Amino acid sequence: MGKLKVRVSLPRNDHRTGRKEIFEEATRFYAKEIMGSRLANLLTIKVHIRNSNCQKRGANVGGYVGMDPTGSKRQRTFRIVLNGKHDLATNMELLSHEMIHVKQKAKDEAQWRYNFKTDTLMVRWKNNPPVRHDEIPYRERPWEVEAYSLQKRYFQAYLEMLSKQKAVKEKLKEKGLDLYE
C-alpha cells in the first residue's frame, strides 16, 4: 500500500513562514477525514495557490479540481488550484470543498466523459444517466450540492483538531515536556 503524497506550491514571492506546511497538513487531514486512510493512501494531490488562475474561470471562483474525463476509470492524481487572494481561513474551507470533489472522483461517484461526436463534456453522478455538465445550473449540480453541504463540517473538524493539538502542546509545555522545540 502506498502513502498519500501531497505537494503544495505557493504564489511567487509568498515567503510567509509555515504557510506551505499548513496547506500540506490540512490536505492530509481532509483526505483521511473525507475518504479514509485506505483510499487516501492511494492518491497524489498537488495543491497550487495562485493569484490569477481562478479569475480566468470566473470572478467568483475560489478554487477548482482538475478532473480528467476518464469515464469510469478511477483517477488517482489530482491538481487543486485555490485562489491566493483569499485569506487563510477561506482557503482552508475552500480546500475542504475541493477535497470533497477529489473523493467524488476517486470513489467513482462522479464520472466525467468527453463525447467527441457531440464535442461535449458529460457527467454521470452516482450511476444516473450521463448529462451535459452545463445543462444543470451550478448550485443545483448534485456534486456541488454535496460539496457545499459538507465543506463547513470538515472545516470545523479541522479547526477542532488544531485546537486540540494546541491544547496538548500547551499542557506538555506547562509540565516542562515541550516536544516541539
pLDDT the model gives residue 168: 74
Q: Crossing angle for the helix pair 142-174 and 19-35, nearest 10 degrees?
A: 120
Does the pLDDT value for residue 179 go beyond 60?
Answer: no
Q: How far apart are CA 127 and CA 114, in angstroms?
A: 17
pLDDT the model gives residue 58: 59
3-state SS class at 24 = helix
CB 133 within 8 A of CB 125: no
Read off the amino acid at residue 31. A
Q: How far apart are CA 84 and CA 62, in angstroms?
A: 9
**What pLDDT, in 10s, does the model give residues 73-122?**
778 999 999 998 888 999 999 999 999 999 999 999 999 888 888 888 89
pTM, full prediction: 0.87
Least confident of 7-16, 59-68, 73-82, 166-175: 166-175
User: Which helix (DSSP H) or strand (DSSP E) does residue 88 occupy?
Assistant: helix 88-106
CB 49 within 8 A of CB 9: yes
